[in-house]
Amino acid sequence: MPATQEAGIFDESALVAKAREGDLAAFNELVNSYSRKIFRLAKHITQNEEDAEDVLQETFLKAFEHLGDFQGQSKFYTWIVRIAVNESLMKLRKRKSDRSVPLDEPVDTGEDTVVREIAVWDENPEQKYSREELGQILDEAVQGLRPAFRTVFVLRDIEELSTEETAEALGISVPAVKSRLLRARLQLREKLTRFFKRKGDDVFAYM
């Protein structure tokens, strides 16, 4: 169950308040609640398990060090997501393996209205592939996205943050989130269409 849905189990604001007063047990409860989601997010962005582990540790270390800067105007989870995204992108820049645009680069939201012609898939892909195989195929397609698009897709469609929460976490506008999400979905559909056509399958669009 996503940590954002666990409000009935723990009081996030109360835990944050205690953690700011130096209560390590309260902070540890926050870490236990969100570490799995932060690791998954970092792994999607860095595409590397060791880097994701580093990002996870650095995220919560910086969160603890800067708890005094957290004003409580947003969810604690949204705040640490932004830290994790920044740490993940730093990993990518250090590896110099991805020369794509930074997350704060302006995006022309006019693309929201662009009509794209994409091949139609006519059969249920689960008739051709197991759930595990489909998951792997989709994961590989997501990894092929540029970080700017991949991060928005992960936050919105995998972690299920709202558009507003995603914008806040990434420090970009709501229209930019919508534009990048659309472009990510279009690119994913094209990638998956090419994959299934290359395999000689005609399957319907399940996205």
pLDDT recorded at residue 12: 86
* The token pair that represents 172 in the structure block: 């970009």
Instruction: Give whole-number Cα distances, 174 to 43, 100, 135, in Å.
Output: 24, 21, 28
User: Do 38 and 80 form a contact (C-beta atoms < 8 A)?
Assistant: yes
Instruction: Give whole-number Cα distances, 102 to 58, 88, 107, 204, in Å.
Output: 20, 12, 11, 34
User: What domains are defined for the chain?
Assistant: 3-95 (1.10.1740.10), 109-198 (1.10.10.10)
105, burial (CB in 10 Å: exposed 0-12, middle 13-18, buried 19+): exposed
Along the 207 residues of the chain, how does pLDDT read in single tens digits?
444 444 445 688 889 989 888 889 999 999 999 999 999 999 888 888 999 999 999 999 999 888 888 877 788 998 999 999 989 888 888 876 545 444 444 444 344 433 333 334 444 544 555 556 666 777 778 888 888 898 899 899 888 889 998 998 888 999 999 999 998 888 888 877 777 666 554 444 444
pLDDT recorded at residue 198: 62
pLDDT recorded at residue 91: 87
C-alpha 33/C-alpha 39 separation (Å) is: 12
